[in-house]
Amino acid sequence: MLLLIMQKIKRILTLASCLYFATFAQLALCLSLESGINVYQRVAGVPPTSEEISEIESLANSGDYRAIARLAMKNKSFYRSTLKYWASAMTNVTQLPSVDLNDFSATVIGIFRDEVPLKEMLYEDILYIGNSTELVKIAPFNAGVTLKAYSDADNNHYRQLDIYGVDLSDPNLLIRTTQSGRSILPPEATMGVMTTRTAGLAFLKDGTNRRMVRFSMVNFHCRDMEQLHDITIPDYRVRQDVPRNAGGDSSTYITKCAGCHAGMDALAGAFALHDFVPTRNPDNTFSNRVIYLPTVANKFFRNDFTYPDGHVTLNESWINLWTRGQNADLGWRFSGDENPYTGTGAKALGVVLAGAKAFSVCMAQRTYTQVCGRTAPFDDGEKLAFTRIANVLESSNYNGKVLFEESVGLCVGE
């Protein structure tokens, strides 16, 4: 803390000196330096060192704010602070970013660091964990603190990495592995970060698995059910537990319920075999885990046959009814072997969600919100900027780092 205060004081004195002694022609260069330092702090989350300031000044004077962002992304604080904050809001239903590091956020951090295509976080069999072999060589694990092993049944491993400030920018300390190799999920049942333990706790626990569809759209397309609500699409996939005549008035179902459930229920079949329930440990105790069942989870039949004309889920097939009507503007596209209209299982759905234009635009919007401190509603200029950044993201093979390089230029000088 003292170091940060001293760095901030030094920055202020540097700028004050620059502004005080500057000629009119030099004034712009002083302001460029301040803008450059501002860019660095927005990305890294901490002030630059005195050694970095001279490099920042040179880059700022030439207007190369992307290079300043790249410099900031070399700081370990970018991973432990900025990226953790960026990812954490997606890990819980309240969208709070101030939560412990977990398997979801650590995996996002690893994907950014290693420049894995960002869209793979929605469908790959991927997981980042602490490397026990290397961690036991560093403090405090080399001084008597017991390193908690990764477990798909608790968050102790990641909480330790967080508490003890492990350098997540170090590829020797945070390493890539697979979910299927570290849990009871088979590879075909994985859906990137959405089948991590953290996502299971947030989106699969209890309920009817509709929450998983909702937050897949909130997290990766930046649209909640209010924006997706569309009463023009067919309702033949709405399940049996949705009232068709609430309060004796069928118009409520037509104008309100079906507008969300028609699209959501049609996709929820992708998670028909997933659940988050207690499972037996080797020591005969029980812990909650994400599981993959041989048959449809019982929760899909909760209150079944209340409305017998409703859809009965028999397997993990899904239909994307949002490719028509108002939600066609999400930019659905064929992605590899998966088409955007129909498929089987969560992984196939993840490929389609990540392949939509809305995914790239949403990632740009999320980054801009964090870096520039702006929130919706966005004006037309901002929306155009999101689309431009989305295009850059896609042309970079979904290298997540370009989101910060491009977004920070939108708030230079603020």
Q: Is the pLDDT of residue 5 over 90?
A: no
Residue 277: what pLDDT?
96
What pLDDT, on a 0 to 100 scale, did the predictor assign at position 7?
A: 45
Q: What is the mean pLDDT of residues 325-330?
A: 97
135 φ, ψ (degrees, to nearest 5): -65, -35
Calculate what percentage of the chain has a pLDDT beyond 70.
91
5 vs 386, which has greater pLDDT? 386
Pick the range with the lowest mean pLDDT from 204-213, 297-306, 332-341.
297-306
pLDDT at 391: 98
| Of 23-37, 142-156, 250-264, 311-325, the least confident | 23-37
How far, CA to CA in Å, does 164 sit from each of 133, 137, 147, 320, 333? 17, 14, 11, 44, 43
pLDDT reported for residue 23: 37
CB atoms within 10 A of CB 1: 5
pLDDT for res 24: 34
CA angle 401, 405, 408 (to 5 degrees): 130
Buried/exposed code over 189-223 (b: 16+ C-beta within 10 A; e: otherwise): bbbbbbbbbbbbbbbbeeebbbbbbbbbbbbbbbb
Pairwise pLDDT comparison (306 vs 135), residue with the higher score: 135
CA-based nearest residue to 213, from 125, 377, 327, 84: 327
Query: Is 80 exceeded by the pLDDT of residue 350?
Result: yes
Tokens 């207007």 correspond to 63
Binned at pLDDT 50, 70 and 90, residue 187 comes out as very high
Bond from prior residue into 140 cis (ω within 30 degrees of 0): yes
Contact 152, 104 (CB under 8 A): no
Report the pLDDT value the prediction gives residue 282, as an integer from 0 to 100.
Answer: 86
Task: Kindly tell me if the per-residue pLDDT of 10 is higher than 50.
Answer: no
| Stretch among 108-117, 118-127, 276-285, 315-324 having the lowest mean pLDDT | 276-285
CA angle 339, 213, 349 (to 5 degrees): 20
User: 373-408 pLDDT, tens per residue?
Assistant: 999 999 999 999 999 999 999 999 999 999 999 999
CA dihedral 217, 122, 112, 35 (to 10 degrees): -20
pLDDT of residue 161: 98
Residue 23 near residue 38 (C-beta atoms within 8 A): no
Confidence of residue 197 (pLDDT cuts 50, 70, 90): very high
**What digits encode the pLDDT tens for the residues 137-168?**
999 999 999 999 999 999 999 999 999 999 99
For residue 260, the model assigns a pLDDT of 96
> Residue 303: what pLDDT?
65
pLDDT of 310 higher than 50: yes
Kindly report the number of other CB atoms within 10 A of residue 325's CB atom: 15
Helix (H) or strand (E) holding 398: none
pLDDT band at 305 (very low <50, low <70, confident <90, very high): low
pLDDT band at 41 (very low <50, low <70, confident <90, very high): very high
Q: What is the pLDDT of residue 76?
A: 97
| pLDDT band at 304; cut points 50, 70, 90 | low
